[in-house]
Structure 1
Amino acid sequence: MTNTIEVHNVTKAFGETKAVDDVSFNIEKGKIFGLLGPNGAGKTTTIRMINYIILPDDGKVLINGIKAGPQTQKMIGYMPEERGLYKKMKVGEQLLYLAQLKGLSASDAREKIRYWLKRFNAYDWHSKVVGELSKGMSQKIQFISTIVHDPEIYIFDEPFSGLDPINSELLKEIIIELKEKGNTILFSTHRMEQVEQMCDDICLFNNGKVVLTGNLRNIKKEFGKNTVLIEFQGDGSFLDRLENVRINNRSTNFAEVRILDGLNSQTILKKAMEAAEIHKFQLVEPSLNEIFISVVGEDNIKKQHEEELRA
């Protein structure tokens, strides 16, 4: 497969802080790629280097084989996490201005703006002043301004922020449509469920470094079936007595249990059956949220600390 975006050993420091530390990953043409990690992990800094907004101290970024620069900016539609709309302009004027900046003629821009406003059930916002819009409405307008000129590459930084579930679903639908047209999409998000439903490949950041990258399906397989879903009727206190597990989700008659340190799932089943009537007991692959916690969370920190003590 051809790589649309290549990040090679990129490093960026701000004073004494190394925001991005020797980061490398590739994004294949026509794929949806998720950039994940906690706040301050280096995701937005990396995105800005891909967009040629800031320059790396070391390493290089290639877009379609060309070193990132003014020429490659024209290939990208970028929606930053800090939204950048002009609050005193009307929605229609704003979108027309931004579309023409990206090279569309006024007539083409008007046609595409009409299409996308209707698609987002926002056509009657055309004459509204941007400053009067809610956060969710502004989010839609920012998204339209990012995609209206039909770039080859889309980069969305936290695109679902501020959207209700219905509009999140609409946005997801449109992103998948863009992929089906052959576009390459990179997005950064904390919303693990969106990544799980949409992404082909992921890159997980922590403290400025890549800690996990690759095909999402393969990553989940590698982690193995180490999560148990239990539906039961009766006394759920057996969950409190389980050792070497983490309870991720728990309600009156349901629990999602992560098995730690090689515990046999049958031990969990036996203890559950002694206390309650079991309606479902299923060993499954971990959710992406669970993988995230395992790689950058308490489990991993504890493991690293134990290894340091043994060294």
Structure 2
Amino acid sequence: MEVLLTVEGLEKSFKDRKVLHHISFEVRKGEIMAILGPNGAGKSTTIRNIMGIMYPDAGKITFHGYEGRGIPRHKIGYLPEERGLYKNVKVMDILLYLADLKDYPVKKAKERALAYLKKFDLEGKEQMKMEELSKGMAQKVQFISAILHEPELLILDEPFSGLDPVSQELFKEEIRNLAKQGTAILLSSHQMNLVEEICDRLFMIQRGQKVIYGTLDEVKTEYANFKCTIRGNNDASRLERIPDVQRVEQKEDVSVLYLTKSVNPARWLKNLPEDLDIRELAMDRISLHEIFLDVATDRRMLLAEEKEKLQEAGEIDA
């Protein structure tokens, strides 16, 4: 797929604190890429540098062959985490105003706005002021404002905030549709279950440094060990003695066995003791949420640093 956005060697400091350390990634046409990390990891700073709200101390950002201040911002849609539409302005007026700022034809913008308002269950709300809308409704309007001008790159910072499950499904459907139409999408969210459902690739940072980068399948294969969930009355200490079991978490009659990285699931299942109480059994990899927790608690960072030290010492191969 064609690369639309390239972030290369990005560095940024505020006074004496370095918040970005040589950040590099790409966003391709028609893909949904997640940028993830705990609060303070550097996600918002990265996004603000891409948007030209601030500029990096080092490195470069390239979009369609343009760099830095020359990037055509009207080709980019942006949904910020902080909501900022004028409260005392009518919904249609604010949508048309923002589309005009992007040099988008007003007539076409109005047609698209009405269609999106209907799609997001806001039909008839176009003459209401923003302050009269609920939080979820306002979020929908802000989302529409980010996509109304048909951007080639769409940046979504916590797009599912304040939405009920039905509205979340609407947003997911529209994000997928935009990607199918060729829009490159960079998405930041703490709702890992939603990210796992819709994203093609992800870039995870902690303390301003890259810790994970790749497709969802690559990340799962590299970082997500298998786990086995068993429903039945079994003694945790006995389950812990089963080969290739790293640890066991037990709640009432449900036991979750976390397995070593090298385990072969089919072979491992054949070797389970025959007298275990198994009423239900499920085998899958740990979730993106659990991988995220590893990063948020620095476990992944510590492992990466330890591996780097061993490589430098020549004790393991690079």
TM over 0.5: yes
Segments of structure 1 that go 5 or more residues without pairing to the other structure are none
1:13 equivalent in structure 2: 13
Paired amino acid for 1:52: G
Identity of aligned residues (%): 37
Q: Which moved more, 1:294-303 or 1:126-135?
A: 294-303
Worse overlay, 297-306 or 132-141: 297-306
Q: Distance in 2 between matches of 1:229 and 1:201?
A: 26
Checking the alignment, whether the CA contact within 8 Å between 1:36 and 1:189 is kept in structure 2 is yes
Q: Could you list the per-position Cα deviations for residues 281-301 of structure 1 after superposition, in whole angstroms to 9, with x for gaps in the alignment?
A: 52x333212222334536436
C-alpha distance 26-307 of structure 1, shift in aligned 2 (>3 A): closer
Summarize the alignment of residues 115-194 of structure 1 with structure 2, pairs less than 5 Å apart. Answer: 115-194=115-194
Shift of 1:140: 0.3
Q: Are the structure 2 counterparts of residues 193 and 281 from structure 1 closer, same or farther at C-alpha, using a change threshold of 3 Å? A: closer
**Structure-2-length-normalised TM-score:** 0.85
3-state DSSP class of the match of 2:77? strand
Query: Which deviates further from its counterpart, 75-84 or 269-278?
Result: 269-278
Q: What's the counterpart of residue 316 of structure 2?
A: none
Q: Which moved more, 1:99-108 or 1:155-164?
A: 99-108
Q: Deviations over 1:50-80 (max 9, x none)?
A: 1111100001000012103254211100111
What is the DSSP-based 3-state SS (H/G/I as helix, E as strand, rest coil) of the residue aligned with 1:211? strand
- Deviation per CA, 1:216-255, whole angstroms, max 9, x where unpaired? 112212336x2223232325655896773263xx654434
Conserved? CA contact 1:34–1:203, under 8 Å: yes
Amino acid at match of 1:259: L
2:38 alignment partner in structure 1: 38
Q: Which moved more, 1:96-105 or 1:183-192?
A: 96-105
Please, which runs of 5 or more residues in structure 2 have no aligned partner? 314-318
Aligned positions, number: 307
State the Cα RMSD in Å: 2.9
Distance 2:186 2:23 in 1: 16
Amino acid paired to 1:280: L
SS in 2 for 1:220: helix
Name the amino acid aligned to 2:69: G
Distance in 2 (CA, whole Å) between partners of 1:238 and 1:139 is 49
Q: Distance in 1 between matches of 2:178 and 2:309?
A: 49
Q: Which residue of structure 1 aligns with residue 27 of structure 2?
A: 27
Compute the displacement of 1:275 (Å). Answer: 5.8
Which residue does 1:244 correspond to in 2?
A: 246
Contact 2:246 / 2:257 at 8 angstroms: preserved in 1?
A: no
Note closer, same or farther for the CA distance 1:308–1:63 as it changes in structure 2 (3 Å cut): closer
With 94-103 and 152-161 compared, the bigger mean Cα shift is at 94-103
The answer to whether structure 1 residue 108 and structure 2 residue 108 are counterparts is: yes
Give the conservation status (yes or no) of the 8 Å contact 1:52–1:70: no
Q: SS of the counterpart of 1:4? A: strand
The alignment's TM-score, normalised by the length of structure 1, stands at: 0.87
